[in-house]
Amino acid sequence: MVAERNPVVNKAVVKFRELSADERTRDLFERREKARRDQVARERWAVKQREVEFAKTLLKRNRPIEEIMEDTGLTHDELENLKIS
């Protein structure tokens, strides 16, 4: 509906349909999206690992659990599991 009233949007919709119909282009897009999602997952994992290492340091210093939760974003259960390991 919007595409019918706006020539720029209509042109984009037509181009999108053309690219979507091309198997090679679609495959390339899917590969790039997978690579992007994988990179985001690696970055999130790295951040979580830094939080865990920081929490371990704070636990060794006997900091209050609530303070560590606030500083790291880890949950109470996650911190309790770190204390055990």
DSSP 11-46: HHHHHHHHHHH-HHHHHHHHHHHHHHHHHHHHHHHH
Angle made by CA atoms 27, 29, 32, in degrees to the nearest 5: 110
| pLDDT of residue 41 exceeding 90 | yes
Which pair of tokens denotes residue 28?
A: 């390339």
* Phi-psi category of residue 73: left, alpha or beta, with phi > 0 → left and psi -120 to 50 → alpha: left
The 10s digit of each residue's pLDDT in 48-75 is 999 999 999 999 999 999 999 999 999 9
Contact call for residues 26 and 19 (beta carbons, < 8 A): yes
User: Higher model confidence: residue 55 or residue 6?
Assistant: 55
